[in-house]
Chain A
Amino acid sequence: MPNADRTHSVTRRLFLRGTGATASGVALLADMHIAAAADEPPIVGPGAIPLTLTVNGRNQEVSVEPCMTLAEVLRGPLDLTGTKIGCDRGACSACTVWLDGAPVASCMLLAVDVGARAVTTIEGLAHGDTLHPVQEAFIAHDALQCGYCTPGMVMSCAALLERVPNPTADDVRAAIDGHLCRCGAYPHIVEAVLAVRKPGP
């Protein structure tokens, strides 16, 4: 696994911060205990533990319980409420974010499981006031009504265009296969994405 080494160093850092005198936020670490056997990997939680997440290119220090999902941590402590929670069961894709560039359901991923993998949320797509081309196209093509599914839809469509710059309508439909839009904006979403594709040579 390419990230295994980096993930381990995060784990070791947790271990040291848990035992060391330099640990900040000691209260939060109160019920974090360490495995008895010296050669066993550390056991952390069930209380909050310090974690460094890379979100939208920045390292973020957060304190989370192992039972918290990435979606909860994004929307709670990190105040990145663009990511929506619909079903909370992996079935609607409203909570889609990128993990090392691949769209995943952040409601079905524990924050402690992210490790060193880079998280990108809808807030990370725009550059300041300059929207991502997919966001512009969604506006131009009326690809939303209530907007609840939109952040997730945009993440999946933008990921598709990174992989396949010139997708067909079927490629777009496959990319948004797992998304539910209760307003039924699907046809305009497909139109919007086709409008931003870059025709190949």
Chain B
Amino acid sequence: MSHRDTQAATRVGTRIANKSIKFSFDGQEYLAQSGDTAASALLASGVREMGRSVKYRRLRGLLAAGPEEPNALFTVGNFPNIIPNVSAPQLVLRNGMALRSQNRWPSLKWDVASLLQAGGGFLGAGFYYKTFIWPSWKTYEKLIRNLAGLGAAPGVCSLSPPKIMYASCDVLIAGAGPAGLAAALAAARAGANVWLIEREPVVGGELEFEASEIDGLPGAQWIAATLAELARRDVKIFTDTTIMGGSSDLIIAHREAGGIAGNNAVYRMKPRAMVAAMGAVERPIAFVGNDRPGVMLINAAEKFLARYGVKIGHELVLFANHDRVYAAAARLQAGGMRIRAIIDTRLTASETIPLRGDLMRSGIHCLLNTAVLATIGGNRITGVKIAPLDAPHQVRTLACDSVLVSGGWSPATAQLTQSHFIAGAEHGCLELNAALHDGYTAGRTAAQVAGKTDLSGTAPRGHGDLTPSLMPFWRSPSDPIREKYQFVDLQNDVTVADLRAALAEGFNDIEHVKRYTTLGVGTEQGRTSGLLGAGIVAELKGDPLTKVITSRERPPYYPMTLSSLAGLRVNGALRPTRKTALHQWHESNGAVLESMGLWMRPRYYQANGADAFTAGIAEARRVRSIGGIIDSSTLGKIEVAGPDAAAFLDTIYLSKASTIKIGRSKYMVNLREDGMVLDDGIVLRLADDRFLATVSSGHAEHMLSHFEYYCVARHYPTISDIRAVSVTDVTESWSVIAVAGSTSRHALAQVLGNEWLAKIAQLTHMDFAVGLFQGHDIKVLRASFSGELAFELHCRPTHTLALWEGLVAAGLLPYGLEALDILRVEKGYLVSSEINGQTTPFDLGMDGLVKQKNTCVGRELLNRPAFHEASRPRLVGLKAVDGKSKFLAGAQLIGSLAPRPCGHVTSTVYSPTLKEWIGLGLVARDYALGDIVRAHDPLRSGNTRVLLVSPVHLDPSGARMKSMSRAP
């Protein structure tokens, strides 16, 4: 311990100060220096094991020194106040910070699940796809749910909302390395208003450690001089900020200082031109055991040394395919690390490297045409196996404790490439002078695009490390059986064997390979693994890399805290609340309101019970015994008028509207063009050329667009002649009160006045009458969705309260949505989850409507054979076999004919009238009423035997309603 502490206290680096702070990792206390990241502080304390891989739970250390780090993701804080999946190289420590490793149980050293992979019993590519289906999914579900995913979710969110800023500038420059700084100089000198965005807390990029000279100044001094000039020219610099995406003229940047959510900012930038100079990310080479803690990218080791004074190991072997490795080796050696060997896969190294000779003279083995085949050791590396590439069986062993690897650089091409100028390393300019020149040119062109014409000035000139002279090398030779230890994507445990399996199983395209193997789908988003994987796929297929290409990049560019995506918390200020005319009454009468789209609707009234369940039951029971009223004003109402109104409705409804007589209404269903049921509702014929269509509350806005669309869409032959029709949204022009129960007729007459008595008595099912209430229009429609005698009153919002209060005074008390669902399910009326966009009219028992042979939107596609197969679902009623067990919507139904589910439960309620749990479900047609299936609900520990019955649970003959139909 004392050794570590001394080491921690004496480090010197560009980013740390000699001020000691404390933090803990997996419960153990450590010392760090101010400015340290979690990664640098742990490395300095001798900790190498920082996490386990997601799938195989292999022990992992650091690979990288940036946000591309695949392994070291930590959870910060103590539950419930935690932030998961924070990248250790990005996380700047604060005194007292508590960190935890992830993907292990019970501890990092002893992980139970890692025993699953002992003996090499790996879950190969496609494992998930092959087990995510029944019946094996049922077997593996619990295990997979426990293993899957990155860190745990926080129990609370106490993050402050991000600052959101909208702004525009002439030239936006992404990346403040040498190329980005040169671009900023060029654009600013041309007079452009320039913004410079840098992901790191400081600018300069690789100049932080690369030996360099620019315009006669050492790199660090040139940066200082450049920053001074940029400040004079009013260039705004945003550090700790990353461009996350933007496919149009809007660029989204995200600031997350210190690598952890806190005082985040989201910038929505509108530049007139943009330069992307985001550099390049070093990539590894695949070899056996390349995932052991101690295998790191060369560039990462250099960064840890220069920034934090951390020596990542004592005895290093460097493995690369380019000239840069020698300059890096010299710097690491100067930093006090012992280098055993430099393994170069190329046949020759550049003659212009005097360094190589110096390194060899200092006792380092510099081997050409050689590769590292494998690491040796347990959890820690004790050595490597190397062999000449032309004689891979002449294996030699070298002792070492770390392997630094570099397979070249992958440009940090974001998804922005189509809309900007690319410069520097991102553009392939890996040599300093070329990058400076490229950046300067791009900056000048961008300024020109932004309308600037003064293009004087010259690009800075400099020199640093040599051009790499890279020879592509993706993976070391290996026995095919050991390819499952050649890791390509360390975060998702994708190996060369997985890529080979994907190709063998016919996943040829890189996008398919990605999805099948999960290559590059983690937080590192293919930064280290994407091009490497593509290179290996190309090699395995024998195709050129240009034919394989990498998979498409998608925003966000780097992991982004969800609270930043959520944006401002405005408590609904940007989301208006729609209130019915009775809203105030509901509130002052103890209604518990629930949002439905933008609307607020009473779920239940507190006077009827302490919670939704008890109150709903009490309210439903009262409707069945006496009656009740519900505010249904949210119902969508669309008035359709004009000479072609009837013809128009005929084409957008499954059954004909033109046959409805004036003063009558009809239950109607809309189809989508693909034949699936879209919505249902009642259509009233007000006049020969005027209809009122009611649509579901939740679909009202969409249905209005749907109606409007078919007024003008001409691709349906039957519609092409219809022109004289107008569609008007009258949702808020009419309130709706639904009145149900045996006393409803009596109460209505009492409230509306005696002149209505005869009118109401004459109404048969689906008739409506129009008249006046307190001098204003009112419609009384006889329609029932509860199996009781029931009416729908359409009245003007200004007079709704009077009508409602009158009905309450007449003894009809209000009920809410909870009771409404009970009443509907009891009678087998669709609740909402049955119309899910995947059910046809046949599935929902609407065969009768189809038989009417009306030509309408979606009708043609109803004839598809697949719509009539035995595996298609059918709406059924469900009840527990034992008459008392509870089962819930969402449960899978499993029958005796096949191990796979035969359907699912769509709605369930407890029926106070039937005194048991009942439900509706969609079940394959090869099951008959009377069959018994199991409602399998593992997440809620449900496993109930249920009986398939008619959807109409209560009073199937309709006797109740008929008995009440007779006028008093």
A interacts with B? no
